[in-house]
Structure 1
């Protein structure tokens, strides 16, 4: 199968998933979280989770879980977080997993939450390490919006630099950047123990992702994609289909003959 035909099929599949999400939006949750920078970890452990935001796509209602909220609930001050981080993180993840377990069958829309460094696996692993047991969200319930945008609009739909595709897409669509931190800024905020700032950024990014998804659904998202990318069409697809399927080849040949004959007859 040729490259363009594969891209066309991936785009078609992604659009089908978008349609499915729109049809059941009451049971769709936008999730984002912030954590310790995995680039700065030297001992091989998974990054500590700082905050998680989960937004209902239909209602906009957002549930959030964070280190500083857990500390407050447990009667501790922000100054105690560093010394008791594992304790507060466990409390936060207890609340998060209680929430997730009560949303059986919901779809989780995320942005690149794909592996043990940053993703559902990382959160699940942290919970297990902290003694919270094991709970895994089935992969069939996860929808990676970042990958879907590449499938729908093409790999060049927006640039990576300077702050990543999400930030660049926000700027390109003139969405507000208020409270939104870049990856580097989040790492700095964690080191400086600015947990409230991290939480605000997490909440804002969940809102941004919902906004982006809404614009994909209604076709108003602005990108750098070409007409060919946006419509999933490319001349090479027709060529490949024609060469691999004799029916299409025969139809093409006959259509060409008829067209030439008609043009020739018109001369007399």
Structure 2
């Protein structure tokens, strides 16, 4: 089983530590692409219209400025850099040593800057969304799509992929639909369903934690995943097609 997560929008900068070593990150075949994106991001972040190009407001100017010095910034494990609703619900810090080891090998974060990283990979805080387009590279989802396919498809072979990504990050890599289950979250009242946003992130984080910390074998099929998720929520499994992933709908009471 592999759990695919999007990065958090905000990051928690490391207080100390050595800078990132791109060659030491997981999936080293992505190193040339990571270097290219990092250089393009630094160049954009130095421009007078950097905020608009990166799609952020003035309150995030300090985060954009950090992009210009990523190779000097202290780095720390990804599970401490990524923060926010989903990652708080996942609660890596409160896991046992064995659970953390399982999380490090199970969780994969798809990133606009790094392509893909593991929880234990040491990275600096940065500001870059997969929906952004960078000069010379274009939209990042399109830029990364062939590179991630080449790097990750073989690695994912034989694994059930629990896809907790948002749409822009899902667009950057489309693994084998037969082995992928997209996680959707709804509230329901009087038979009417509504898509939720904040609670979707929180619930996906809770699902990731449950799958990592529960007793027993990790699910290997969509049906086994539905059974595991059903230990905590009302769920329904929607079968996929040759080109469309399965969907696991988690239904929350409104």
TM-score, normalised relative to structure 2: 0.27
Q: Which has the higher helix share?
A: 1
Q: Which has the higher strand share?
A: 2
